[in-house]
Copies of this chain bind each other. A is one copy, B any other.
Amino acid sequence: MAPSPSSATSVSPVSVIRSAVDGELTAFCTTHRARLLEIGAELAPAMDALEAMLSGGKRLRPTFCYWGWRGAGGAGDDGRIVRAAASLEFLQACALIHDDVIDRSDTRRGLPATHKRLAALHAEHGWSGDSEGFGQGAAILIGDICLAWSDEMYQASGFALETLQAGRPPFDAMRTEVMAGQYLDTLEQVRGTSTREAALRVMRYKSAKYTIERPLHLGAALAGRLDALEGVYTDYGLPLGVAFQLRDDVLGVFGDPGTTGKPAGDDLREGKRTLVVAETLARAGKADADRFRTLLGTPDLSAESVEWMCALITDSGALKACEAVIEEYAGQAMDALESPGLDAAAREPLRRLVVAATSRTH
């Protein structure tokens, strides 16, 4: 299941770990499906939905956890780090399943969101009551199971108990921070806060720490070198995480639905208070800003309105400003990799991850 050490230089930093992570997740799900079905055969559709959510995704958190380990001198062909890293995918599955319920999102990666999938099961069988309500309830529970299994898989990864305990501070911080960040995100949306500071704080907790910094810290801690590398990984992870999220936000406005799986303008329809929005409102004239603010968060936003908003984002200089932030932060992340404390094996892959996260088109 573990990736071979030699493959690190020949393939992308994500694909070196991807199939190993997938394999461990499949193995875990096989034993846990059996346990669930022992409780009740009717749990099969819930398990199907859980596995469907788990089977997609970029494996970003496991990837950063793995390279955090390698950068701390951890061996490339160690199945334990693959399992510990893979456990983060269960946390991510919980976050996504619950996010979709909270945001009432219909789709995820071009497929029906978990709660929509379960609502469809309800409708198909003609069960009593409200299909949407059943779907949401079921999705909350499936997300809860994912959250519990994340920790179960981590604890069963095969590391010595002392090593697992050393990894607990970043592991625990990650869980609290992503939930707290999501709460703040929801709050900023309803408060209509559109300041740069608010947008940056949400990005910091919901994305930068959760997706990059903490997984790197976890990898370093499992290799017994968190003290030495904590600062390096923070200097790399926080700017890269913000740059990564900002790329995501730009794609969420302008992106091609063919590659992102989301229709263009989707984030504008949802009313997300991103830095793109904050920069636009800060730079546009009052009349334009007022109109933009009014349109933002309108669920049935017309194609014309989306086009007008995209034009304002571009013409106001907000897009350019965001691209400049992405470039600057990507540069800061690159600089952090110069630290002599970092194992040379991880330097090039972590560099390539900067490029991949900030230049991607989907």
| Nearest B-chain residue to A122, judged by Cβ | B190
Binary interface encoding of chain A residues 123-157 relative to chain B, with 1 for a CB under 8 A from any of its CBs, else 0: 00101110001101110111111011101100100
> How far is the CB of A32 from the nearest CB of chain B, in Å?
8
A332: interface (CB < 8 Å): no
- Min C-beta distance of A353 to chain B, whole Å: 25
0/1 per residue, A251-294, Cβ < 8 Å to B? 00000000000000000000000000000000000000000000
- For residue A39, CB closer than 8 A to chain B, the reply is yes
Q: Which of A89-116 contact B (CB under 8 A)?
A: 94, 98, 101-104
Known: A40-B184, A141-B183, A183-B43. A176 touches B148 (CB 8 A): yes
Q: How far is the CA of A152 from the CA of B173 in the complex (A)?
A: 10
Contacts of A180 in B (CB 8 A): 36, 39-40, 43, 141, 145
Chain B residues with CB under 8 Å of A32's CB are 176
Q: Which of A186-221 contact B (CB under 8 A)?
A: 186-187, 189-192, 201, 205
Residues in chain B near residue A102, CB distance under 8 A: 136-137, 140-141
* Contact assessment for B40 and A201 in the assembled complex, using a CB-CB cutoff below 8 Å: yes
CA distance A134 to B104 in the complex (A): 11
* A230 within 8 Å of B (CB atoms): no
Secondary structure at the A interface, as helix, strand, loop or mixed, is helix
Q: Are A168 and B148 in contact (CB under 8 A)?
A: no
Once the chains bind, are B35 and A176 in contact (CB under 8 Å)? yes
Query: Is A46 located at the chain interface by the 8 A CB criterion?
Result: yes
The answer, yes or no, to whether A175 is at the interface (CB within 8 Å) is yes
Residues of B within 8 A of A189 (CB): 128-129
Partner of A127, one of B127, B152, B190: B190
**Chain B hits for A39, CB < 8 A:** 176-177, 180-181, 184, 205
Please report which residues of chain A, range 147-173, place their CB below 8 angstroms from some CB of chain B when the two chains form the complex: 147-149, 151-152, 155, 161-162, 164-165, 168, 172
In whole angstroms, how far apart are the Cα atoms of A43 and B187 in the complex?
9
Taking A148-B176, A152-B168 as known contacts, 12 extra A-B pairs with beta carbons closer than 8 A to each other, sorted by chain A number, are A39-B181, A40-B184, A98-B140, A101-B136, A129-B189, A138-B186, A140-B140, A144-B147, A144-B175, A147-B148, A148-B151, A148-B175
